[in-house]
């Protein structure tokens, strides 16, 4: 009977922490099979395991765009594999961190990690504990929180797979306009918002290339300049938001859509999971050996 109780306790602890069977068994043995004590044991002993994972590359995970009445928030929470990113405990952690980030002030990622939850654990400690219980490096990679000023509208979009999210803040217009722009940004990923954001060097390079076009031959100077301008805008539409064909109505540009709705862009932020991170490619033999070494 006692053996059945022990197995039930191990199962309960695994469901709570998602820690491996052997770790749950050891934790319970060291805490007289008391669940809270076992969780504490996992956390305390898991920190050393988490540190072993500190140099691993966490390029999978989830991004989220959300808001409160006063702030808009977007952040990226990473894991090593998409398998863990889909885990219920990982999704729960994302929700807990989102709430803490919305409810507390911070200046940057470093200060965000010092925010404490109701149990007086910092976000940094929550990440370390999650690394231990989930068996992968879990990190809060980046976060941006924006104060919503009077008269501003916010559009949020998080793709259903949690891999892409965007926050758009506008003046004028309405929340639907902001939402539509955030969906466009998520889908088409513009490099710049406006032509003025593009470097003069890059603009000069584009112009110089277009000025040698056969379409300009034997054209009057005033006509030539209009043609060049049209060609420049077409080229810019590949990577500049204001010139891109609007995703919901390709007959007009994003800039025209904003103009028609008396709206002005204030801020555009787009996060995609793992962008800019060089993923580590391990062959099967190397991966298995690394796991064997870690288990020792």
User: CB of 40 within 8 A of CB of 54?
Assistant: no
45 or 76: which leads in pLDDT? 76
With cut-offs at 50, 70 and 90, classify the pLDDT of residue 289.
low
Tokens of 239: 């990577």
Does the pLDDT at position 287 exceed 70? no
Domain 57-147, CATH class in plain words: alpha beta
Q: Please give the share of the chain, as a percent, with pLDDT higher than 70.
A: 89
pLDDT higher than 60, residue 282: no
Phi/psi for 141 (5° steps) reads -80, -45
pLDDT for position 34: 87
* Average pLDDT of the residues in 179-189: 98
Given the candidates 1.10.150, 1.10.8, 1.10.3710, 2.60.40, the CATH classification of the domain at 2-52 is 1.10.8
Q: How far is CA 254 from CA 190, 244, 258, 269, 292, in A?
A: 11, 6, 6, 16, 53
Lowest average pLDDT, out of 98-112, 124-138, 227-241, goes to 124-138
Per-residue pLDDT tens over the stretch 46-75? 655 655 666 778 889 999 999 999 999 999
DSSP string, 44-112: HHHHHHHHHTTTS---EEEEEEEE-SSEEEEEEEEESSHHHHTSHHHHHHHHHHHHHHHHS--SSHHHH
Q: Where in the chain is the domain with CATH 3.30.479.20?
A: 57-147
CATH 1.10.8 placement within the chain: 2-52
């Amino acid at each position: 009977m006692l053996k059945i109780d022990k197995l039930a306790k191990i199962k309960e602890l695994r469901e709570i922490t998602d820690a491996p069977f052997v770790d749950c068994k050891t934790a319970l043995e060291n805490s007289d099979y008391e669940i809270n004590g076992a969780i504490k044991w996992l956390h305390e002993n898991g920190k050393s395991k988490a540190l072993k994972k500190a140099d691993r590359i966490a390029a999978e995970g989830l991004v989220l765009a959300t808001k409160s009445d006063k702030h808009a928030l977007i952040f990226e929470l990473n894991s090593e594999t998409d398998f863990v990113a889909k885990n219920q405990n990982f999704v729960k952690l994302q929700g807990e961190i989102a709430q803490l980030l919305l409810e507390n002030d911070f200046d940057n990622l470093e200060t965000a990690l010092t925010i404490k939850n109701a149990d007086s654990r910092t976000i940094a400690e929550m990440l370390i504990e999650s690394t231990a219980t989930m068996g992968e490096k879990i990190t809060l990679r980046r976060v941006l929180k924006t104060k919503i000023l009077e008269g501003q509208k916010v559009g949020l979009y998080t793709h259903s797979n949690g891999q892409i999210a965007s926050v758009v803040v506008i003046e004028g217009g309405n929340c639907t306009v902001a939402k539509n722009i955030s969906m466009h940004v998520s889908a088409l990923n513009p490099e710049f918002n406006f032509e003025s954001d593009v470097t003069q060097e890059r603009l000069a390079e584009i112009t110089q290339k277009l000025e040698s076009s056969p379409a300009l031959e034997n054209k009057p100077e005033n006509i030539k300049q209009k043609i060049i301008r049209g060609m420049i805008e077409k080229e810019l539409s590949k990577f500049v938001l204001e010139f891109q064909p609007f995703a919901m109505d390709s007959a007009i540009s994003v800039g025209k859509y904003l103009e028609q709705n008396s709206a002005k862009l204030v801020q555009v932020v787009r996060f995609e999971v793992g962008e800019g991170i060089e993923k580590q490619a391990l062959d099967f033999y190397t991966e298995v050996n690394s796991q064997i070494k870690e288990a020792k």
